[in-house]
Amino acid sequence: MRMQYLLLFLLLCMLLTGCAADLTGGYLIPAAEGSEEYVTTLNGYLSEYETRNLKENLYVETADGNATACFDVQAMPAIDHGVGRYWYSHVLATVVIAVDRTRTDAVITGWKSLTESQIRVGMSSTSVIRNMLVIGALSYGLNPAAPAKQDALDFLEQLSRNGGFELDESDAPILLCLDYEAAAWNRNGQNYEVIVPEEGTISYRLGLLSDVPLTLESGLDESLLSAGFPLASGERPQGFPSNYQSAHTLRAEDYDWFLELAGDSSRDLRREVFHTRLYTTADLREHILSALLIAVVILLWKGTVSHRMLRHDVQWIVGAMCWSMVGWLLLRLFKYQLFSEGILCRICWYGYYIFQLILPVALLCLTEIIDRPEGERSPLRPLWPPFVFYVLSVILVLTNDLHHMVFRFEPGGNWNSDYYYGPGYWIIMAGSLLALVLAVGKLLCMGRRNTHWGGKIFPLLFCAGLLAYIIAYICRVPLVWESDLTVCICIISILFFETVLHSGLIPVNIQYKKLFTAAPVGLTLFDEKGRAVLSSCGTVPISPSIWRRMHMDPHKPLLRDSDTQLHAIPVHNGMAVWQEDISQLNRLKKEIQNVQSRLEAANNLLQEEEEIKKRLMAAETKRDLFEQLNCDIEHRITALSREIEKLPETGCPKGTTAYIALCLCHIKRRCNLFFLDRQGESLLREELSIYLNELAELAGYVGIQMLIRYGRAGALDIRCAALCYDYAFETILWMLKSNASVLIGYMESEGSNLIFRFLPGCDSRQWHYSEKFMAEISALGGEITYKDLDDAVGICMTLPLGGENCD
Amino acid sequence: MMNLLSGHMEDWSTPQYFCFAIRCEVCGEFWYSSSIPFSKAAQAADCLEKKELYDAIYQREKVRAKLAAGKEARELFSQCPICGRLVCDSCFLICDEIDMCRECACRMKERGEPVMP
């Protein structure tokens, strides 16, 4: 943006400062073609004025304080518009027909006789004013009552078709010229018959236009007459026709219709008489207007392209191309403003190539970066050869006056048109063509997957058209040579680029509206002020407070309402915001919460149920346990109760009391072993020995000496330990019954069996252990055997070892 | 009113700025207060050893920001005298006899113009 403002500022500076007046003044300037001799004659009568050639146009020179020689049809409109206040007419110039009698003896009397003669007719000049004078005179001559330009144009077209009519053809046998010119030629030895057309013609006044009053010294009329100029008063020197009755001199009221009649004569002559420049600009005004129009169109197009482009680097290159074209057109306009075709004009012409040659290079650069990510710097490397070539080419063109390798001018000719191309030009053109071909080739290569056939054909067509046009221009094909190269290249380039954009070879965002309309996500593009630029269908506008909040922190999503979440991402000059519908999410979340609460309630219920079950199970287990315990020790308790009841009646209370104590001890330890059994634990032999020693101690109270030895330590299965304990208890009971006093026991492990031997001090063969005890031993795979020793009977209980044996 | 607004405020603040939101109970749209930057946001991020100090400053500024947000919201929210809900100006109607929220007006067939169309 800053660059554009700078360019506009420079343009304004150029335009405004270009109008600054430089009131130098003091020059006598021949502003009309053919007035040089007249000015030379005047020079002696305006001593304070110095003669010089025209540098600016007539009006600028006059406004600068100079005295300019011009025709009345130039001076009167200028005075009407405030340029030049003083008009001094001296010479009367009549449009006549000059017939070279050395080349033809055709009878020529007037305009119409020209068509009958079938002889080539020419005009001695192509200047605009000369065309105006002739067209005006011819129009008047063909219809003095109501002069019409179309009559003159039709007449000249017919003339051109029959015998030939050429502009700037001073070699023709018949010339349309001013009478004093023909008289001058005759004075120089030529043989022209000067004919005042009998149908009528116009006499124009040649004089001086000035912003300041001029003081002309006396004797000017005589000098003019002697120089061969007819005076404004009608007095003519020798060598002029005698009869000027058909010549009409313009009066003050005639200038309006004359200017309306003769305006745009050059353009009409080209188009309607010679049928050239039908499709291009034909005069200076059209050149300027067309250039301005094209420049405006290019800038507007650039604006649309910038709006459509996705990438900034592509935008930048397209902008550079557009400004190059605009610069080319502006330079061309500047060149048109230059009145003299001097060095500056030629440098401007060379300067066209600064802008022209950059176009293919920029296009190549564009195609090089287009398929790479934005901001990647590596593409710059392969692009330096075309840029170097461009710089060298521009230098070569701008220095052409030194070496003439690019343009070669014909000696004595007009450099503007009489030139041909040198080898440098062909090298430059070949380089530019190569860049263009590479660029187009790359574009087409990138778009080869494009299914739309027009996407490839149209860019190729415009490219081919551009090449054909340039080749035709170089070959000077008349239709193309007459056209405006700059405007045509600009237009074709823009059309080419536009087709490239439309065909999708360069990505653009022209389908954004469709994209947004079709987008299912609620996407909105905001400008930097929060205004929605593009919005997808059904998107609800956001409030200013939400915009402020998003602008502050675009990366954090926020809620528009409970069911709409807004996400934002900053983009160039604004922000992209999309709305996410989270109603489904909220519904799911709510469902999950409901399910969770239901699960929690169910879980609580199950926990309570489990607690109740646990309590019930504990009670049942306890009951079962006590039932089993009861079952296990019931008979002992019953026996114990009986013994206790009998205790007062017994004769031996000590023995009964010991028995009761033994039973109580046995019940206690059995209960202990019962619970240990339910816990699934084992019992160490050391602990079993404590139990057995306890029994031995109680047995000691009734006089039984009991000694038990143990083998190595280790753990016993509870059931095995309980049987050992029961075995010892029942043996003690039998000792009591047998009134035995000594009991020796030995417990040891033998292989996989536990051997528990008792050697009582009496005959134990009559001892019978309880059935329940025996059943338990059998169930465990053990047995009780008696061994008859010499003086005693030993009892041996064998049990398979259970539990962990540390032997 | 300030208490009501304060009670409805949702904290959308971050360590960098303070922002509060109030949800209209009729249309459901959130209004966000103007974000006020935390004065020590940059320092707090750099200087972790003074975290406790900056936390205290943050809390103090947050209270002030909340008050400011309340004042800001007071201009944009009203309490419906019928249903007692907190409603935004778009949903609060100026009726002939008593101003009320859109839903109450619809229920009672009252006509009115919204405070902010």
Q: A35-52, pLDDT tens digit by residue?
A: 888 888 888 888 788 888
| Interchain proximity A552–B17, CB inside 8 Å | yes
What is the structure's pLDDT at B23?
Answer: 92
Cα gap A237→A364, rounded to integer Å: 69
What is the structure's pLDDT at A24?
Answer: 56
**Which residues of chain A are within 8 Å of residue B29 when distances are taken between CB atoms?**
543, 560-561
Which of A245, A95, A102 minimizes the C-alpha distance to A175?
A95
What is the structure's pLDDT at A380?
Answer: 52
What is the structure's pLDDT at A41?
Answer: 87
Cα gap A204→A96, rounded to integer Å: 12
Determine contact: B9 vs chain A, CB below 8 A.
no
Cα gap A151→A145, rounded to integer Å: 13
| Interchain proximity B32–A562, CB inside 8 Å | no
pLDDT value at A256 more than 60: yes
Packing angle between helix A128-142 and helix A254-262, nearest 10 degrees?
A: 110
What is the structure's pLDDT at A379?
Answer: 52
Amino acid at B86: L
CB neighbourhood size of B95 (10 A) = 15
Chain centroid offset of residue B19 CA: 9
Interface-testing mutation among A542, A545, A556, with chain B (most B C-beta atoms within 10 A) = A545
Burial group, residue A51, by CB count within 10 angstroms (0-12, 13-18, 19+): middle
pLDDT value at A20 more than 70: no
What is the structure's pLDDT at A6?
Answer: 67
What is the structure's pLDDT at A803?
Answer: 45
Q: Tokens for A795, please give them.
A: 């009892």
Cα gap A406→A421, rounded to integer Å: 6
**Which residues of chain A are within 8 Å of residue B31 when distances are taken between CB atoms?**
543, 545
**Which residues of chain B are within 8 Å of residue A545 when distances are taken between CB atoms?**
31-34
pLDDT value at A805 more than 80: no
Bridge partners for A98 per DSSP: A175, A194
Closest in A548, A552, A560 to B30, CB measured: A560
Q: Tokens for A144, please give them.
A: 């003095």
Q: What is the SS3 assignment for A501-555?
A: HHCCCCCECCCHHHHHHHCCCEEEEEECCCCEEEECCCCCCCCHHHHHHHHHCCC
Confidence of residue A449 (pLDDT cuts 50, 70, 90): low
A620 conformational bin, left if phi > 0, alpha if psi -120 to 50, beta if neither: alpha
Counted residue by residue, chain B has a size of 117
Q: What is the mean pLDDT of residues A411-428?
A: 83
Closest in B31, B33, B35 to A553, CB measured: B35
pLDDT averaged over every residue in chain A: 84
Contacts of A420 (CB under 8 A, 6+ apart): A407, A408, A410
Query: Nearest 5 degrees, angle CA A297-CA A303-CA A308?
Result: 125
**Which residues of chain A are within 8 Å of residue B21 when distances are taken between CB atoms?**
558-559
**Which residues of chain A are within 8 Å of residue B16 when distances are taken between CB atoms?**
553
Confidence of residue A386 (pLDDT cuts 50, 70, 90): confident
CB neighbourhood size of A464 (10 A) = 12
Confidence of residue A806 (pLDDT cuts 50, 70, 90): very low
More confident position, A41 or A790:
A41
Task: Answer for the pair A166, A111: CB distance below 8 angstroms, yes or no.
Answer: no
Confidence of residue A338 (pLDDT cuts 50, 70, 90): confident
The upper half-sphere exposure of residue B97, i.e. CA atoms within 13 Å in the direction of its Cβ, equals 6
What is the structure's pLDDT at A604?
Answer: 95
Which of B67, B95, B68 minimizes the C-alpha distance to B81?
B95
Interface-testing mutation among B8, B13, B29, with chain A (most A C-beta atoms within 10 A) = B29
For residue A173, the 8-state DSSP code is S
A260-286 residue pLDDT tens:
888 888 888 888 888 887 778 888 888
Q: How far is CA A451 from CA A48, A454, A456, A504, in A?
A: 79, 9, 9, 11
| Interchain proximity A548–B32, CB inside 8 Å | yes
**Which residues of chain A are within 8 Å of residue B23 when distances are taken between CB atoms?**
561-562
Q: Tokens for A580, please give them.
A: 């996410």
3-state secondary structure of A46: coil
What is the structure's pLDDT at A374?
Answer: 67
| Interchain proximity A559–B34, CB inside 8 Å | no
What is the structure's pLDDT at A324?
Answer: 92
What is the structure's pLDDT at A620?
Answer: 92
What is the structure's pLDDT at B80?
Answer: 92
**Which residues of chain B are within 8 Å of residue A560 when distances are taken between CB atoms?**
29-30
Cα gap A103→A89, rounded to integer Å: 36
| Interchain proximity A552–B19, CB inside 8 Å | yes
Handedness of CA A433, A435, A441, A443 (dihedral sign): negative
pLDDT value at A17 more than 60: no
For residue A557, the 8-state DSSP code is -
Confidence of residue A804 (pLDDT cuts 50, 70, 90): very low
Highest mean pLDDT among A339-348, A409-418, A453-462, B39-48: A339-348
A622 conformational bin, left if phi > 0, alpha if psi -120 to 50, beta if neither: alpha
B35-71 residue pLDDT tens:
999 988 877 767 777 888 888 999 999 999 999 999 9
Q: What is the mean pLDDT of residues A602-622?
A: 93
* Distant-in-sequence contacts of B34-37, Cβ < 8 A, 24+ apart: B34/A545, B34/A548, B34/B68, B34/B69, B34/B72, B35/A548, B35/A549, B35/A552, B35/A553, B36/B61, B36/B65, B36/B68
More confident position, A372 or A609:
A609
Contacts of A484 (CB under 8 A, 6+ apart): A280, A281, A287, A290
The distance of A544 to chain B (nearest Cα, Å) reads 9
What is the structure's pLDDT at A200?
Answer: 92
Packing angle between helix A312-337 and helix A284-308, nearest 10 degrees?
A: 170
pLDDT value at A82 more than 70: yes
| Interchain proximity A549–B28, CB inside 8 Å | no
More confident position, A38 or A416:
A38
Contacts of A332 (CB under 8 A, 6+ apart): A291, A348, A352, A486
pTM (predicted TM-score):
0.56
**Which residues of A sit within 8 Å Cβ distance of B?**
543, 545-546, 548-549, 552-553, 556, 558-563
**Which residues of chain B are within 8 Å of residue A553 when distances are taken between CB atoms?**
14, 16-17, 19, 35
Query: Could you report the predicted ipTM of this complex, rounded to two decimals?
Result: 0.88
Task: Answer for the pair A564, A581: CB distance below 8 angstroms, yes or no.
Answer: yes
Q: What is the mean pLDDT of residues A65-79?
A: 89
Q: Which helix (H) or strand (E) holds A498?
A: helix A485-502
pLDDT value at A4 more than 70: no
**Which residues of chain B are within 8 Å of residue A562 when distances are taken between CB atoms?**
23, 28
Closest in A546, A552, A562 to B28, CB measured: A562
Torsion on CA atoms B53, B54, B60, B66, rounded to nearest 10: -160
| Interchain proximity A559–B31, CB inside 8 Å | no
Task: Tell me how many helices (H) and strands (E) chain A has.
Answer: 28, 24
pLDDT value at A310 more than 80: no
Which range, of A406-410, A542-546, A655-659, B56-60, averages the lowest pLDDT? A655-659
A696-746 residue pLDDT tens:
888 888 888 888 888 866 788 888 888 888 889 888 888 888 877 888 888
Cα gap A383→A389, rounded to integer Å: 10
For residue A229, the 8-state DSSP code is P
* 54-83 of B, contacting A, C-beta below 8 A: none
Determine contact: B34 vs chain A, CB below 8 A.
yes
Q: φ and ψ at A324, to 5 degrees? A: -65, -45
Burial group, residue A553, by CB count within 10 angstroms (0-12, 13-18, 19+): middle
B65-88 residue pLDDT tens:
999 999 999 989 999 999 999 999
pLDDT value at A3 more than 80: no
The proportion of chain A whose per-residue pLDDT surpasses 90, expressed as a percent, equals: 17
What is the structure's pLDDT at A656?
Answer: 78
What is the structure's pLDDT at A376?
Answer: 63
CB neighbourhood size of A722 (10 A) = 24
Q: Which helix (H) or strand (E) holds A288?
A: helix A284-308
Task: Answer for the pair A714, A807: CB distance below 8 angstroms, yes or no.
Answer: yes
Handedness of CA A227, A230, A235, A238 (dihedral sign): positive
Handedness of CA A620, A621, A627, A630 (dihedral sign): negative
Packing angle between helix A653-679 and helix A583-646, nearest 10 degrees?
A: 160
Confidence of residue A807 (pLDDT cuts 50, 70, 90): very low
pLDDT value at A434 more than 60: yes
**Which residues of chain A are within 8 Å of residue B17 when distances are taken between CB atoms?**
552-553
Counting one residue from A and one from B, how many pairs have CB atoms under 8 Å apart? 40
pLDDT value at A445 more than 50: yes
Q: What is the mean pLDDT of residues A336-350?
A: 83
* 14-33 of B, contacting A, C-beta below 8 A: 14, 16-17, 19, 21, 23, 27-33
What is the structure's pLDDT at A381?
Answer: 58
Token look-up 């070279």 returns A100
Task: Answer for the pair A311, A374: CB distance below 8 angstroms, yes or no.
Answer: yes
Cα gap A327→A333, rounded to integer Å: 10
Chain centroid offset of residue A748 CA: 98
What is the structure's pLDDT at A287?
Answer: 84
User: What DSSP string describes A320-387?
Assistant: HHHHHHHHHHHHHHHHHH--S-SHHHHHHHHHHHHHHTHHHHHHHHHHHHHTS-TT--GGGGGGHHHH
Which of A242, A216, A201 minimizes the C-alpha distance to A93?
A201
Given the DSSP bridges, would you call strands A532-535 and B92-95 parallel, antiparallel or unpaired? unpaired
| Interchain proximity B23–A562, CB inside 8 Å | yes
A529-538 residue pLDDT tens:
888 888 888 7
| Interchain proximity A560–B35, CB inside 8 Å | no
Longest dimension (CA), chain B: 62
Q: What is the mean pLDDT of residues A201-221?
A: 88
Q: What is the mean pLDDT of residues A413-423?
A: 81
Q: Tokens for A467, please give them.
A: 């090449």
User: What DSSP string describes A113-166?
Assistant: HHHHHT--EEES---HHHHHHHHHHHHHHH-SSS--HHHHHHHHHHHHHHT-EE
**Which residues of chain A are within 8 Å of residue B35 when distances are taken between CB atoms?**
548-549, 552-553
For residue A762, the 8-state DSSP code is S
Interface-testing mutation among B30, B88, B90, with chain A (most A C-beta atoms within 10 A) = B30
